Structure 1
Amino acid sequence: MTTMSEQTTDQRPLHERVAADLRHEILSGIVLPGAALLTAELRERFATSSATVARALHILREERLVTSCANMANKAPDSVVIEHRQRTMQPARSLAPADPGQPFRWVTEARRRGVSANCVLLDVKPVPEPPAHVAQALGLNAGNPALLRSQLLTFDNEPAALVKAYFPLQIVHGTAMTEHRKIRGGTSTLLARLGYPPRRCVDSVSARIPTQEQHALLKLPPNVPVLRTFRVVYSDNDRPVEAHDTVEAGHLYELQYEFSQVL
């Protein structure tokens, strides 16, 4: 385990560095649920004060990674690790249209992993001038509008992801997609019925500092980053039909991709 003396280039406040190391160990499974985090042991390990340790544990309590415990087996640990809420999702599984009568595949996949998932529709509107990166991804020229559908995805009633999905207005005009209501089976199911089935997608994933909007809608604890995924979905003849700009809460979301060797 790394000590603070080895981190001479890290300019973050000491309590944030302590919290970062403990967070990594909890999310990685190095420290298991039920483990006690004792101030005396942490103070010695990180060669710091009780006040600094207390501030670090406060951060982890805000993120609901640990909880206070007054007494356990005649000891008095400052905190006990609880089961972390980060969920592993496989984005590739949500690309295909839903089976008849089934909900959006993202919801189905989350439920398969034991998570109560839901989608809250925030906004549906035409965008006369979509963002430059969206226009480029969808192959839209100046004056070609897009349709924006914004939604909030939740895990166990907790905000987990904010999705801004763009579609060429030309191909969805006059359909249920332009209405402020959920689409049974998701937008990919409706696009498939319109003759634009998904054939492949390209995901660009990066870590970001959340914007004010993202921080508020995702109800993020302080200093928690987001994962940003920009997905472009292509249909037949490699025509782009969707562009999703998604941010996922870093403390709740883990993305998993599976690859096979191409010979």
Structure 2
Amino acid sequence: MTVSTIDNDPSDPRSLHERIAADLRDEIMSGDLAPGAKLPSTAQLKARFDASNATIQKALQVLKDERLVIGRAGAAVTVREHRQRTMHPAAFMAPAGAGEPYRWLTEAAKHGTQAHSTLLDVAEVRPPADVSAALNLAESETALLRHQVLSIDREPVELVKSYYPMAIVQGTVITDKRKIKGGTPTLLAELGHPPRLSVDRVSARVPTQEQYQALNLPSDLPVLRTLRVVYSDEQRPIEVTVMVKAGHLYELQYEFTPE
């Protein structure tokens, strides 16, 4: 763990307690402060950061609000168990087997957590510009939106908006406002559009009002936004999904094989 003080740096306009919280947050997410570990004492943090007791308490409150640590006044502050989750996007792409639930749910269960998806809306809409471009839609064309929020252990973790070309899904159960057994990859495969390739574009953004509320975020910390384009045979785009996660609680892991 790096031990250093935070100087008054004009290039960093954040208040001192925000900068202290940022350093501790990084140590939590990198594993230097592991789940269940005690944070240094207030006295140690005061010496390390050359800060007052009030400033240290404000920094710790930020981390408590972000659900990264737990503790009460006069008691040791500890890192919450299982706070940072590593997501493996490639594990969710293959269609589920016959009678199996959506792969996101089964993957979460492997880690000892209870996952749940809540379908918020199903509607024909004009998608955002980047989604329309990815689906090769004309400016006036619509797509089907399936909007849901995913939760782990009753905590909202991901806001998901999936878009489908109307030419593919019109008249199918994908347009119904109900969950699809096995998820849409299974149904698309049954309709003759098996997923062959997925391309992700990941960016960090300040949360929108909708994202802030849906994910119960504690502040305007960046969210991880993934724009995923799924292609079927002949490189036809069949699904574009925008997935948003709390950036301070999740990381994405991709695996590559050298060519």
> What interval of TM-score do these two structures reach, taking the shorter chain for normalisation?
over 0.9
Runs of 4+ in 1 over 6 A off after TM superposition: none
Letter paired with 1:172: V
* CA distance, structure 2, for counterparts of residue 68 and residue 53 of structure 1: 14
| Equivalent residue, structure 1, for 2:45 | 42
Query: Which residue does the alignment assign to 2:80?
Result: 82
Contact 1:161 1:218 in 2 (8 A): yes
**1:234-253 residue CA offsets vs partner (Å, 9 max, x unmatched):** 00000000000111112332
Q: Does 1:97 align with 2:95?
A: yes
Residue 69 of structure 1, CA deviation: 4.2
Aligned residues of 1:39 and 1:77 also touching (Cα < 8 A): no
The equivalences for 1:1-263 within 5 A come to 1=2, 2-5=4-7, 9-32=11-34, 33-69=36-72, 76-77=74-75, 79-127=77-125, 129-262=126-259
3-state DSSP class of the match of 1:103? coil
Amino acid at match of 1:92: A
Letter in 1 for 2:41: L
- 1:145-177 Cα deviation digits (max 9, x unpaired): 200000001111100000110000111001110
Distance 1:78 1:9 in 2: 33
Q: Gapped runs of 5+ residues in structure 2? A: none
| Deviation at residue 254 of structure 1 after TM alignment | 1.6
Q: 1:144: how far off?
A: 2.5
What are the Cα deviations for residues 105-151 of structure 1, in whole angstroms up to 9, with x where unaligned?
Answer: 11111111222111100000011x32221111001123332000000
SS in 2 for 1:27: helix
Q: 5+ unaligned residues in a row in structure 1: which ranges?
A: 71-75
TM-score by length of 2: 0.94
- Report SS of the residue matched to 2:180: coil
Question: CA offsets, 1:51-109, max 9 Å, x none?
Answer: 11010011111122222246xxxxx5452333242211110111111111111111111
Native 8 Å contact 2:33 2:39 kept in 1: no
Q: Which residue of 2 aligns with 1:73?
A: none
Following the alignment from structure 2 to structure 1, what is the Cα–Cα distance between the partners of residues 55 and 227?
38
Aligned residue identity for 2:102:
F
Length, aligned pairs only: 256
Secondary structure of 1:135 counterpart: helix
Deviation at 1:6, TM superposition (A): 8.2
Q: Which moved more, 1:133-142 or 1:163-172?
A: 133-142
